[in-house]
Chain A
Amino acid sequence: MLDLAKSRWHPIAAAHDLPLRHVFHGQLLGREFAVWRADDGYVNIWENRCLHRGVRLSIGINDGRELKCQYHGWRYSNRTAGCTYIPAHPADAPARTITNRTFAAVERYGLVWSAEEPQGEVPEVSGFAEGKLLALRAIPVNAPADVVAAQLTGYRFQPSGNIDGSAAKVAVEASNAFSVALRSSEGDASTLAVLFVQPVDSNRSVIRGVLDSEVEGAARLAVLRHHNELLSRLRVAVEAEAAREPAPAPLEPIIERVSPELAEMPEETTHGRKATIRVQVTRKWSAADGIAGFELRPLKGLLPTFQPGAHIDVHLPNGLIRQYSITNGPGESDSYVIGVKLERDSKGGSTCLHETVREGDVLAISEPRNNFPLRRDAIQTLFIAGGIGITPLLAMAQALNNQSLGHELHYFAQNQAQLAFPEKTKTLGASLKPHLGLSPDQTGAKLREILSGYGPDKHVYLCGPGPMLEAARAIAAEMGWPETAVHFEYFKNTNVIDDSTSFEVALARSCMTLTVPAGKTILEVMRDAGIDMPSSCEQGACGTCLATVIEGEPDHQDVYLNDAERKSGTKIMTCVSRAKSARLVLDL
């Protein structure tokens, strides 16, 4: 019977069990759940186990957007249950596949329903009108569900309209192994009670009762107490009966194994330039002068977990592929919001999004990829955004704000009307520092002011137009900021790419030697040879197609690596950079 029960929907909590910022400890058929409602109302039902070391997540912290494990502070996103941050490795973006097991959640009849392997819908109860019901106090019983359900057919109670009476007739309208529907009538008063029996474990159950009508005022409490008292009394009898039988062994739910890549402490998994997700533009609006906001919702299922700093590839109707940063705050996982600036010299990307793409259109996007990860172990973090460079930094600032970690967001723009996403920046309060209408010289002076006073445990993140980034990086270096504390992301690579050289590339792990001719990139030659290499912007800006150099001298033409990384000669962006030596050996 319990095998059959796996495919059924069962109530596992009452709606009132899930106040905001609380984690409910649930269980169904032996499997424990951590159940929590995010501030946006979404009900998360997760396996009650952090994937890292098996600690119960029901002792973790619900911060409204994410659930934080009590043991090592790993953070898991609302909705997707994907891990967004591993504090032990603050410089890394966690492999996005670290995702807790989630279970279906439906709120109905004042109860929260779930199932191990749901088939069909939550049971329909005729005579139940949503919003007009009364959920009773749940009664946990130390007895098997079928024993409880059998006893419940004999449950006798007064209809809500005649609670003080004593002559009610009670008829069983329906019953099965996990629920009993009873109608109690006396005089004009009649109440339908459906008592669902949640099979918690082989020898533990919870009676979750719902009445067909809400009761107002003081009578409401009287009705609730009436049932609480009677059901508690029934519990005494059921438990006494169950205690006569030897207790069955507790159920042992199967814990799924994690994927082999996760078990191996993987490098970032490789993905080509694939658009695996279809989204609909559910909202398009003017996020600022010249900047369009797009809200993208999945056509089906959930969007993958994103981290602050991550971007997606957007495949446009005109065939172009463009990268846009996700601006969402933590836990805002029902859609991705991107900002697109109309470029004066647009080659068709931003023009297409501004002029052609409309609400309701469907676009293909890639999974989010994070090559601009945010450390959260700084005492103070500075964000310096120029214009549309706000987008990744906005996501980062919201993440730090949510964890009450010290930060300032310096936002340079021509005027107030150009400040994008005011509804998001407003939530940052005093940490948002707009700098408007500054000349290049004034901008330099302001950057000097912001970047003065470097100290250990300070980090700065830069995103904006090339000249501003160059200036900010130079000033930071001058003011004593080490390169390891300066993080940046260019919109695009404005270097003129010299692809006139020809050289050999040896792939050490693949045991292949390839020739890269003039006019072709390393990435293209590898793809032609059947090597699956992830890439995104393909112009040396985003950092996705990074490879490790074992031997040979790279000819760097990207804007992703910092100077120290370039000098070390151990990394190369395969989409634009080439070789100065006749041969490069890559760790691929």
Chain B
Amino acid sequence: MTETRCKDQVILDLWHPLAALSEVPAGVVVGTILLEERLSLACDGTGKVAVWRSRRDLPVDGPVDISAVAGTLPVKLAYGYVWTSLGNPPADIFPIPEYAEADRRKLNAATFGVNVSAPRAIENFLDMGHFPYVHTDILGAEPHTEVKEYDVEISVDRDEILATRCRFFQPMASTTSDGGADVDYIYRVPHPYCSVLYKSSPMDETRLDVIAVFLQPVDQEHVRAHMLLCVLDEDNEDKVIKRFQQTIFGQDKPILENQFPKRLPLDPRAETPIRADKSAIAYRRWLSQKGVTYGVIPAAT
């Protein structure tokens, strides 16, 4: 058995996403990388999936009968993605109850490679202050730049970070009015490399759209970002919904790739937080408390 290069047991024991199930062809080996290890996966077309450490006798793009593959890794199918673990994973993946609601559209907006650590990408996902500057005229617009007070807690029983009462001004906030207005957000970080966002639905003001980012750590400074959309939309084609999310992510990408250092520094004195960064501060503390070392620069002790 290959010895894994990642020594961070917290990270090794997690479930990690590898691919959108809808994009895995049946009976063909797909290659990917997780925590610096080459992995292969395949499905059989009936919903069964196998993941294993890549082997010469089962080359990528070659045919495979997954029932005959020995020495496979643990597998879970959740939220439309194939998940695996290189350690001893928990019984369940964190819950997203809304995923079970029948009237939602569930799509993989895209899986993009990004030259950044997973925690930097999570922090960007939690951040509202950049909307007017990075997502100009879409998620925000100058001069409406204020990040209003919001609440952050680390939920002990669920072991996740929860930021509530978040609001940010969005131009063209809904399909029914032309003007801008505050839009409500809730952010969850239920996994060191995954985050779930709830946002006012433009279609139904009583419900929230769900957008999640699941980061597959290729190595400490590279990720594959899988973006789940779980939204209320009866009008638009899939590709229109995906295009919007890809546009947003494409705008964040050059910011992420120009952050230095690429790994997230956990030393509180490495960067300068402001009140708007409360959720990021909680996230950094939470990673420190868990003892995460992969993809971060741990604080000197």
Residues on A lying within 8 angstroms of B by beta carbon are 32, 48-49, 51-56, 59, 70-73, 86-91, 98, 255, 257-260, 262-265, 376-379, 405, 457
- A90 lies within 8 A of B274 (CB): no
Chain A nearest Cβ from B32, distance in angstroms: 28
The interface residues of chain B lying within 8 Å CB-to-CB of A54 are: 259-261, 265, 271
Interface centre among A32, A54, A72 (most CB of B within 10 A): A72
- B259 lies within 8 A of A377 (CB): no
Q: When A and B form their complex, which 7 residue pairs have the shortest distance between CB atoms, in order from nearest? A: A87-B145, A88-B129, A257-B269, A88-B276, A88-B147, A263-B269, A56-B258
- A71 lies within 8 A of B132 (CB): no
The interface residues of chain B lying within 8 Å CB-to-CB of A257 are: 267, 269-270
Docked pose: A259 CA to B267 CA in angstroms: 12
Q: B272 an interface residue at 8 Å Cβ cutoff?
A: yes
Docked pose: A260 CA to B268 CA in angstroms: 8
- A49 lies within 8 A of B260 (CB): yes
- B134 lies within 8 A of A71 (CB): yes
Interface centre among B146, B271, B272, B275 (most CB of A within 10 A): B272
Q: B95 an interface residue at 8 Å Cβ cutoff?
A: no
Selected A-B contacts with CB under 8 Å, 19 pairs: A53-B259, A54-B261, A56-B259, A71-B130, A71-B134, A72-B130, A73-B145, A87-B145, A88-B146, A88-B275, A89-B276, A91-B146, A255-B261, A263-B268, A263-B269, A264-B268, A265-B273, A377-B145, A378-B143
- Chain A residue nearest in CB terms to B276: A88
- A259 lies within 8 A of B269 (CB): yes
- A32 lies within 8 A of B260 (CB): yes
Docked pose: A56 CA to B275 CA in angstroms: 22
- B270 lies within 8 A of A258 (CB): yes
Chain B nearest Cβ from A72, distance in angstroms: 5
Docked pose: A264 CA to B278 CA in angstroms: 11
Docked pose: A128 CA to B68 CA in angstroms: 78
Q: B133 an interface residue at 8 Å Cβ cutoff?
A: yes
- Contact among A52, A59, A377 with B272 in the assembled complex (CB-CB below 8 Å): A52
Chain A nearest Cβ from B273, distance in angstroms: 6
Contact string, B212-239, partner A, CB cutoff 8 A, digits 1/0?
0000000000000000000000000000
Docked pose: A457 CA to B182 CA in angstroms: 13
- B258 lies within 8 A of A89 (CB): no
Docked pose: A91 CA to B143 CA in angstroms: 13
The interface residues of chain B lying within 8 Å CB-to-CB of A89 are: 146-147, 274-276
Chain B nearest Cβ from A459, distance in angstroms: 11
- Contact among B132, B269, B275 with A73 in the assembled complex (CB-CB below 8 Å): B132
- A405 lies within 8 A of B143 (CB): yes
Docked pose: A335 CA to B259 CA in angstroms: 34
The interface residues of chain B lying within 8 Å CB-to-CB of A376 are: 143, 145
- Chain B residue nearest in CB terms to A91: B146
Q: B144 an interface residue at 8 Å Cβ cutoff?
A: yes
9 extra interchain contacts, Cβ-Cβ under 8 A, other than A52-B272, A54-B259, A71-B255? A52-B273, A72-B130, A73-B142, A86-B274, A88-B274, A89-B274, A257-B269, A260-B269, A262-B272
Interface of A is mostly: loop
- B259 lies within 8 A of A90 (CB): no
Q: How many pairs, one residue from A and one from B, have CB atoms within 8 Å of each other in the complex? A: 97
Contact string, B270-286, partner A, CB cutoff 8 A, digits 1/0?
11111110000100000
Q: B254 an interface residue at 8 Å Cβ cutoff?
A: yes
The interface residues of chain B lying within 8 Å CB-to-CB of A255 are: 261, 270
The interface residues of chain A lying within 8 Å CB-to-CB of B143 are: 376-379, 405, 457
Given A59-B254, A89-B147, A90-B145, verify A72-B133 contact (CB < 8 Å). Answer: yes
Contact string, B117-148, partner A, CB cutoff 8 A, digits 1/0?
00000010000011011100000001111110
The interface residues of chain A lying within 8 Å CB-to-CB of B267 are: 257
Chain B nearest Cβ from A413, distance in angstroms: 29
The interface residues of chain A lying within 8 Å CB-to-CB of B270 are: 255, 257-258
Given A88-B147, A263-B269, A264-B268, verify A70-B261 contact (CB < 8 Å). Answer: no
Docked pose: A481 CA to B276 CA in angstroms: 27
- B255 lies within 8 A of A70 (CB): yes
- B146 lies within 8 A of A51 (CB): no
The interface residues of chain A lying within 8 Å CB-to-CB of B269 are: 257-260, 262-263
Docked pose: A225 CA to B110 CA in angstroms: 48
- A377 lies within 8 A of B260 (CB): no
- Chain B residue nearest in CB terms to A406: B143
- B271 lies within 8 A of A51 (CB): yes
- Contact among A32, A87, A98, A265 with B129 in the assembled complex (CB-CB below 8 Å): A87
- B274 lies within 8 A of A265 (CB): yes
Given A71-B134, A87-B129, verify A53-B271 contact (CB < 8 Å). Answer: yes
- Contact among A52, A258, A259, A260 with B274 in the assembled complex (CB-CB below 8 Å): A52
The interface residues of chain A lying within 8 Å CB-to-CB of B146 are: 87-91, 377
